[in-house]
Amino acid sequence: MSKNQALFERAQRVIPGGVNSPVRAFRAVGGTPRFITRGDGAYIFDAEGQRYIDYIGSWGPMILGHGHPAVLEAVTKAAQEGFSFGAPTEREIELAEEILKLVPSMEQVRLVSSGTEATMSAIRLARGATGRSKFIKFEGCYHGHTDALLVKAGSGLATFGHPTSAGVPAEVAQHTLVLEFNHLAQLEEAFALHGKELACVIIEPIAGNMNFVRTQTAYMKRLRELCTEHGALLVMDEVMTGFRVGLHSAQGHYASLIPGFKPDISVFGKVIGGGMPLAAFGASRDIMKHLAPLGGVYQAGTLSGNPVATACGLATLREIQKPGFFEDLSAKTRRLVDGLAAVAKDNGVPFSVDCQGGMFGFFLMDQLPQEYQTVMTTDKERFNRFFHAMLDAGVYLAPALYEAGFVSAAHSEADIQATLDAARQALR
């Protein structure tokens, strides 16, 4: 028995499914999860000492790679000063100022500990600011595991959603309307039917949990218009895309395509914590004034603005602002996805790819899908074979066909070439 197998058996005795987040269990692809012992630059190492080129990057945060010297120095210094105080620190202000400098749609920001906590709080804030209860989300977009967000579509636009998880009461789901991603006619109809009741619409600008699917520009433009017309707030979930797809995040990309575009509330995570548990949500002063202690929308957290996490996040944000950082990262990611597409073509395998900044996705189909139902028609068994062939070759991709991938600044040309060589063999 390998060390990974032994650890997995041991873990299953004390942790449900042997993991603390479901996708880690390898249920989608089969086989034994790799138990990671350490990371170094673009690499992670498992319990057997096997090295892997890491394209998960802790699901996005490790944009600089593992163990970046500037981040290590900042975290070590912060840890020596104290792990947690339950009181304000200057570094919280510094991190908030850094985020706001780069995201002009927000005037104030509240720091929390996880993306789930941030999206939950953002929806509560939208409800408190508008005095409305109902909201729209999209099938295939993931916003954390709070009750109101674990919902699938109802039987029609006149009916609201149904829980997708045991333990979620139907009366909670009844306020959530689930629409198809990028389906413009359905969006128009939903606002015509429910516009006056909607507190907000929450959307991932690039969905990362149905692999990599962009919100179409025309769709985003019309969504912004409809929210404004009906008094609903547009909540942009940038937990995954924030500072990962560009210095000004995905909303900066859409602002370059849609004059005057900005969301009402933004949610961030992952990169802003640099790998530590940290997230945030923010908006204009007029909206944020509803948040306690100023207003009646309650939100609190003992570890919010944790001094070690803020040190990690602040060091990360300062590094990614250095000249040429995103140009280099984007070019590197583009070389990877173009190379994968070329290898697949040479082997006669249906393949489509897309990327933005340091985030990418690929599909074993001829055209990029635009919504969840098409994503789920991907050849799952072929993906699973590809995943394991790549893993055996020392390339660690997401262990599910519906997860995006991530490139870091630490990935070298040699790493990308090794990945393409492995893919060429795997796709044969």
Catalytic machinery residues = 142, 237, 270
Contact 34, 390 (CB under 8 A): no
Backbone region of residue 369 per phi and psi (left: phi > 0; alpha: psi in -120 to 50; beta: other values): beta
Distance CA 165, CA 176 (A): 14
Q: If DSSP states are collapsed to H, E and C, what string results for 201-222? A: EEECCEECCCCCEECCHHHHHH
Tokens of 94: 């510094």
| DSSP state string for 108-177 | EEEEES-HHHHHHHHHHHHHHHHT--EEEEETT----S-GGGSEE--SSTTS--EESSTT--HHHHTTEE
Positive or negative: CA dihedral 202, 205, 210, 216: positive
Residue type, 62: M
Identify which of 42, 36, 99 has the alpha carbon closest to the alpha carbon of residue 406. 42
Whole-angstrom distance, CA of residue 244 vs CA of residue 330: 10
Question: Which residues sit opposite 386 in a β-bridge?
Answer: none
Helix (H) or strand (E) holding 382: helix 380-392
Name the nearest CA neighbour of 95 among 75, 109, 116, 83: 109
